[in-house]
Structure 1
Amino acid sequence: MIISLFFTSACSLLENAGKAKNGVTTIKIANYCSETHPQNIALREKFKPMVEEKTHGKYKVEIYPANALGDEEQFSSGVRIGSIQMAITGMGLQIANPKIGVVEWPYLFDNYEQANRILHGEVGEEIGDAFRELGAEPLAWTANGFRVVSANRKIDSMEDFKGFRLRMGNIPIFISTGKALGANVQPLALSEVFTALEQGVIDGQENPYVTLKESGFYEVQSHVTETRHMFSPNVYLMNKKFYDGLDKETQKIIREAARESAQYEWKLLQESEEKVKKELEKEGIEIIVPDEKFRSELEKSVEPVYEELYKKYDWAEELVNKIRAQK
């Protein structure tokens, strides 16, 4: 009886999600970023007005930042089943299809221009097919940022990672990368990180600069090392059934709005990163930029990670080589 009720409820939710009321269809967009993050600024200033104006008010966009519709796993699932029309997500769906996560493999991209160009080309389209297989239509790629390590002490050599309790997301590629660096990896939910840092349960964490600032982690840290060990993108995902049900003109409007909004976010994110670095230094945070020797050692440390990935996935080496050939 309980199972039957669950499926009845789920089906009802799917059927009613986004349905037009008084001729207006609502597109709900969920994400995990704060309201002031470049991601939500871009959605408010570009995506929402473009869609609403160009569809002459037939579509209304509602933005739900800061996990207002549940955490990333929940709203990613919501997009797949159709209870949420759209979401801006990280690469969490790599758990369902590992190819999605390749863009976060260590030291794969060198800079933002390179990542933007490659993700919006043949490679991004190939990974996009993996999203489609899961019931989600990818509309555009955005930047979360290059990941850096914040710490309660200086880290300027590989030796400094020994015994260092580093929080990372509970995703296999993150954990294997952290271990390759030599850290004692502690998987924790993002919501638990500040308290863990404050209480000394962990020594540091890794995230892009803007997330470091927006989450307040810098308040209980003293140093940042620009390891830039991974690039983390986000992606605009729309429920595929919802997208396929739109007329061609509306699909074009939504895709163009997503692309323009995403490109604006890339610009804002990079500007915000430079601003954040200056603000952190004013707060007394010491920023360490690895010298050529340290940088080389960091990159070399993750070679075993790739060796294991190539053994595990028959498509991995070819796709990685395709990315590297376009750098």
Structure 2
Amino acid sequence: MKLKKLFLFGLIAVLMLTSVACSQGTNDTQATSKDGVTKIKIANYFAEDHPQNVALREKFKKIVEEKTNGKVVVEIYPSNQLGDEAQFTNGVRNGTVEMAITGMGLQTANPKIGAVEWPFLFESYDHARKALNGEVGDEIETEFRKLGVEPLAWTVNGFRVISANRPIKSMDDFKGFRLRMPNIPIFVNTGKALGANVQPLPLSEVFTALEQKVIDGQENPYATLKASGFYEVQKYVLESNHMFSPNVYLMNKKLFDSFDKETQQIIKEAAQESANYEWELLLKSEEDVKKFLKEKGLEIIVPDAQFKEQMVKAMDPVYQDLYKQYDWAKAFVEKVRNSK
């Protein structure tokens, strides 16, 4: 009888250990099949023909699959196929999505991540690229890692412009203007500082809201304005360039750390090459997009020096609040402005 009890206790202990091991395996972020192939799902909110997805297909996917001899397979899910930005970004954090190209939405968890999108911070594309690929980018990448994601490369979404159903040619034209912005404090505060009536909405809902005249306009880079079809329900564009929006390749950190050093290097180099290609594509396409929009009947309004200065000046209270709120803010802004 004692032998039977000991056997039963031993069997139960083995089953419990096996159950724990299986449970741990389920939480493992590296989804490797029986043949040793790892699939990396990449989520993003861009249209399939956006430079971000073109670069992913032509560079990142190709390089990773070729250089790992097919041991890592890349699957691309554009246009919010794996949920909206908040959903798939959180998916990368918890390991349900291996990778994403995302904006600075994680600033809701770590405000410093969003500092690169503060209003009128960068003066040009060259300025932004140099800063992000230098000390400024390194500082933000450290903050990403604290949230369980590995930043692989910086890409460009672009300077943000305002599309509208009526012309905006002065600060007075912002009064009563229902402007969609992402539901992120710095965006909302920037829109309010301009004098607009800010309406936070997910990107996936913007077209319908514009079409049904729930909002008067939205703000995004030119490439998104075209790729998302907003030009079909807008008549004007104010080239405000009020914020610069970068994007970043993020991978679940546990997954990245689980790869051997050689595979990590392949992934990082592929991401950087893909990112470089995306910068080229987007910058080359911006003038084509402007031409396209004009052909579709949209009027592009370039603010004169006085109007631009007034918009910049309107941000003073926003920055003063940021400096009061974060003890690192002033030094960070100075670092960005000295990185030209």
Structure 2 length normalisation: TM-score? Answer: 0.91
Output aligned runs, 1:64-103, within 5 Å.
64-103=77-116
Change (3 A) 1:156 1:55: same
More off after superposition, 250-259 vs 108-117: 108-117
| Cα separation, 2, equivalents of 1:146 and 1:14 | 39
Matching of residue 61 in structure 1 with residue 74 in structure 2: yes
Q: How much is the aligned-residue C-alpha RMSD, in angstroms?
A: 1.6
Matching of residue 155 in structure 1 with residue 155 in structure 2: no
Structure 1 length normalisation: TM-score? Answer: 0.95
| Cα separation, 2, equivalents of 1:208 and 1:234 | 12
Listed one character per residue, the Cα deviations across residues 235-273 of structure 1 (whole Å, up to 9, x for unaligned) are: 000111111111111111110100000010011111222
Matching of residue 171 in structure 1 with residue 214 in structure 2: no
Matching of residue 49 in structure 1 with residue 62 in structure 2: yes
| Cα separation, 2, equivalents of 1:67 and 1:300 | 36
| Cα separation, 2, equivalents of 1:10 and 1:226 | 53
Question: Which AA in structure 2 matches 1:196?
Answer: A
Residue 21 of structure 1 and its aligned partner are, at CA, apart by 3.2
What is aligned with 2:210?
197
What is aligned with 1:5?
none
Regions of 4+ moved over 4 Å: 8-13
What is aligned with 2:16?
none
Question: Which AA in structure 2 matches 1:210?
Answer: A
| 8 Å CA contact 2:43, 2:99 repeated in 1 | yes
Residue 92 of structure 1 and its aligned partner are, at CA, apart by 0.5
Listed one character per residue, the Cα deviations across residues 119-148 of structure 1 (whole Å, up to 9, x for unaligned) are: 011111110011100000000000111110
What is aligned with 1:298?
311
More off after superposition, 226-235 vs 15-24: 15-24
| 8 Å CA contact 2:226, 2:289 repeated in 1 | yes
- Which protein is bigger by CA-based radius of gyration? 2
Runs of at least 5 residues in structure 1 that lack an aligned partner in the other structure: 1-7
Change (3 A) 1:11 1:222: farther
What is aligned with 1:225?
238
Residue 9 of structure 1 and its aligned partner are, at CA, apart by 11
Matching of residue 106 in structure 1 with residue 119 in structure 2: yes
Residue 56 of structure 1 and its aligned partner are, at CA, apart by 1.6
| Cα separation, 2, equivalents of 1:163 and 1:283 | 26
| Cα separation, 2, equivalents of 1:10 and 1:38 | 39
Change (3 A) 1:326 1:154: same
What is aligned with 1:242?
255
Matching of residue 118 in structure 1 with residue 131 in structure 2: yes
| Cα separation, 1, equivalents of 2:141 and 2:312 | 27
Identity of aligned residues (%): 68
What is aligned with 1:310?
323
Residue 17 of structure 1 and its aligned partner are, at CA, apart by 4.4
| 8 Å CA contact 1:148, 1:227 repeated in 2 | yes
| Cα separation, 2, equivalents of 1:203 and 1:35 | 26
Runs of at least 5 residues in structure 2 that lack an aligned partner in the other structure: 1-20
Residue 217 of structure 1 and its aligned partner are, at CA, apart by 1.1
Aligned residues: 320
Residue 199 of structure 1 and its aligned partner are, at CA, apart by 2.1
Question: Which AA in structure 2 matches 1:193?
Answer: V
| Cα separation, 1, equivalents of 2:129 and 2:69 | 31
| Cα separation, 2, equivalents of 1:81 and 1:138 | 15
| Cα separation, 1, equivalents of 2:164 and 2:75 | 37
SS at match of 2:28: helix
Residue 192 of structure 1 and its aligned partner are, at CA, apart by 2.0
Residue 16 of structure 1 and its aligned partner are, at CA, apart by 6.2
